[in-house]
Structure 1
Amino acid sequence: MHGASPSTSSGTTAHLVDRHPTVTPERLVAQLVPPPTFADVSFDTYRPDPGEPSQSDAVRSCEQFCTEAAQRRAGKKKLFGKREVLPGVGVYLDGGFGVGKTHLLASTYYRLVAADAGPAAFATFGELTQLAGVFGFVECIELLSGYVVVCIDEFELDDPGNTTLISRLLSALVERGVSIAATSNTLPEQLGEGRFAAQDFLREINTLSQIFTTVRIEGPDYRHRDLPPAPQPPSDEDVRARAEGVEGATLDDFDALCAHLATMHPSRYNALIEGVTEVFVTGVHPIEDQSVALRLVSLTDRLYDAGIPIVASGSKLDTVFSEEMLAGGFRKKYLRATSRLLALTHAGQE
């Protein structure tokens, strides 16, 4: 969708619930790039914490990976000038929230693009599964087999089907000379733990762990450094009044927005917020339904990637996901979303 941007010229703030985007397969391919918030990053702009040597080590590991990935894509010379395709390599950046994993992943993407080693792809784990769903498994392999690297941010396994799908997809790509770089908060051999019967597809998980060299990155969440706790939310009236004064803003009721998210596939959320400058939401409250919560996580990820501030009334945004949910299998996903919601809320105060 390339629809009109939200406008306040009529005196009425636009609403996300009035937008009904569609996404073509061509757009899904065009979106295989780092998000806007990481459009200008590089290894040189990464600022390792002096007290966390693993961060400097991670930069060197990623730079070495780029060198190896380019060599693998180029292949090995044989007789008569032909080249033999070499299997790709893998690097897996594991660490807590906010230690700069995505920064390093995007830097890897840009380093290989700048080296003219071949096309590169960047996607979240969810976007990669969506791509396979849209194009089909075999077609997705053909689509990505010419890439020098596929970068996968926030590698997560939410169900056995995705585990099998992505494991086989990555194995096929590596065989064709594509290298894989990934980030996650969970080590490859632990993927799936606490969510479902991991032993039912242990072979697939083992295959994934064999592809990657794991690089551990330690450190506190930079989004929380020098930040106060979640701010006291403004009133509904304040949120509405502020929204009226911001060009390109949207204003929605929390329940209505959550219901609207259910009407479309998460692959459309990027198009849903296209052109939005700031998101205003009234009536936020804790969520009890897992499906609603996971859709909100997907929207939060897209808002964070785009750097769109949030101003919300009702409950504090660090209370949206219930204690019961935080104790379940999607705990890391909800904690990441909470971290990002708080960062976007503080951005909305500036």
Structure 2
Amino acid sequence: MSASPAEPAPTSPATPATGPVSLCAREPRVAAERLVGEMVPPPRFDSVRFATYVPDPNQPSQTEAVTVLSAFAAGLGQDPGGKRRWFGRKPGTAAAPGGPRGVYLDGGYGVGKTHLLASLWHATPAAPEQKAFGTFVELTNLVGALGFQQTVRTLAGHRLLCIDEFELDDPGDTVLVSSLLSRLVEAGVALAATSNTLPGKLGEGRFAAADFMREIQGLSARFRPLRIDGEDYRHRGLPEAPAPLTTEQVTRAAHTTEAASLDDFPALLAHLATVHPSRYGALTEGLRVACFTDVGPVPDQSTALRLVVLADRLYDREIPVLASGLPFDRLFSDEMLNGGYRKKYFRAISRLTALARDAKGLRAE
């Protein structure tokens, strides 16, 4: 797996010229042009490569994934006949009609799927503007901002589209994404995606997936599944998660750290409902540390899913988290952790715990 993030640089003990910001006071608006321009791997994955992925020797599927994806990236170059190559097939050989046009990385949280997806983006022999990288929610929001036809025109000229955190949480997304990916495949765009759910199981436990089985099966046919086994590298050989701080400690740290945010956790959860999840990255822009007070159980599933997206954006932007209240492994109820979104919730716990470790050097005693 990728190495653990470096410890944040020590902070100055001096009080910043301005106090902490409040995420609750931010209402980001993101122009459509910016949405397209920012479809690149996030900061945490900007420098990752296949060579920096360290497979677990006890998990041969991890080594296989590097081999398959490296060949896939090489096969996305132009052959002498001008035809694109898929999974390293011989130059000039057309892909089988209706066959897979991409790779689908399936596995538990913390096995390095996003590392591998970003490495594929970096290894693909094409200019940055010819390949796109974004989360599933960012892709669906792009369609909302540009319209379906303009999104197709914008992405159709790309060599590769990478979709992180691929999930189908409602019927509308199922039909939308099925249609979009079909059009992009017809235009010759290669696809790559990560998810915690096998492509044939997308939507299971979330909505009446059987009613949309044709679309789900169509999506599944676009990808070659690649299973990646292993344990969560973020907790492998690391100490226990740090205990929550007191409200006074969190507040003091927020006021003595440059570019910090400070929010009451329940108020922040309420504010997230007013901001589209695709803007959560913009919501955290410029932060060096996020500070939360009075962390408590998430009240309902809709709120929980929004928190998952915020945790993802904090993680891929390498923003440490200081918090008071309950520890992060008590955010979600047993019912949530045993339901259809359980893998998302475990991922959020894993990532927030890692970010709490990253914040060790930022604590104000």
TM-score of the pair, normalised by structure 2: 0.87
RMSD over aligned Cα atoms: 2.2
**Structure 1 residue 271: deviation in Å?**
1.2
- Alignment partner of 1:156 is 2:189: no
C-alpha contact 1:14 1:251 (8 A) present in aligned 2: yes
Matches within 5 A, 1:143-182: 143-182=154-193
Q: Which residue of 2 aligns with 1:264?
A: 275
Per the TM alignment, residue 320 of structure 1 is displaced from its structure 2 partner at its CA by 0.7
Aligned with 1:15 (options 8, 22, 26):
22
TM-superposed deviation, 1:214: 0.9
Partner of 2:11: none
Cα distance change, pair 43–15 in 1 and its aligned pair in 2 (3 A): same
Q: 1:104 aligns with which of 102, 116, 134?
A: 116
Distance 1:207 1:163 in 2: 10
Q: Which one of 236, 240, 243 corresponds to residue 229 of structure 1?
A: 240
Structure 2 equivalent of residue 43 of structure 1: 50
* 1:207-218 matched pairs, under 5 angstroms: 207-218=218-229
Aligned to 2:87: none
Tell me the alpha carbon deviations over residues 178-219 of structure 1, each in whole angstroms, 9 at most, x when there is no partner: 000011111111111111111101111111111111111111
Distance in structure 2 (CA, Å) of the matches to 1:8 and 1:141: 49
1:280-306: CA deviations, max 9, x gaps? 110000012222211111111110010
Q: Which amino acid counterpart does residue 258 of structure 2 have in structure 1?
A: E
> Can you give the 5+ residue segments of structure 1 that lack an aligned partner in the other structure?
1-6, 78-82
**2:70 pairs with one of 60, 63, 79:** 63
Alignment map for 1:190-209 (pairs within 5 Å): 190-209=201-220
The number of aligned residues is 338
- Worse overlay, 228-237 or 212-221: 228-237
Classify the secondary structure of the residue corresponding to 1:211.
coil
Go from structure 1 to structure 2 and tell me whether the alpha carbon gap of 1:278 and 1:141 turns closer, same or farther (over 3 Å shift): same
SS at match of 1:205: helix
CA contact (8 A) 1:68 1:89 kept: no
Please give the per-residue CA displacement for 1:203-237, whole angstroms capped at 9, x wherever unaligned.
11111111111111111100111223332211101
Cα displacement (A) at 1:52: 1.2
CA contact (8 A) 1:283 1:313 kept: yes
Report the counterpart of residue 194 of structure 2 in structure 1. 183
Alignment partner, residue 310 of structure 1: 321
Distance, in Å, in 1 between the alignment partners of 2:60 and 2:270 is: 45
Q: How does 1:250-329 map to 2 (within 5 A)?
A: 250-329=261-340
- Whole-angstrom distance in 1 between the partners of 2:292 and 2:36: 31
SS of corresponding position for 1:110: helix
2-structure distance, mates of 1:60, 1:301: 27
Q: Which moved more, 1:289-298 or 1:335-344?
A: 289-298
CA contact (8 A) 2:40 2:134 kept: yes
Task: Describe how 1:73-152 pairs up with structure 2 within 5 A.
Answer: 75-76=82-83, 89-112=101-124, 114-116=125-127, 119-152=130-163
Where structure 2 has 5 or more consecutive residues not aligned to the other structure, the ranges are 1-13, 85-91
Runs of 4+ in 1 over 6 A off after TM superposition: 83-88
Equivalent pair of 2:16/2:257 in contact (CA under 8 Å): no
Identity %: 55
**Which amino acid in the other structure matches residue 60 of structure 1?**
T
- In 2, Cα distance between equivalents of 1:277 and 1:229: 23
Q: What displacement does 1:8 show?
A: 6.0
Partner of 1:80: none
TM-score, L = length of structure 1:
0.91
- With over 3 angstroms needed to count, the CA separation of the structure-2 counterparts of 1:14 and 1:118, relative to structure 1, is closer
Deviation at 1:310, TM superposition (A): 0.2
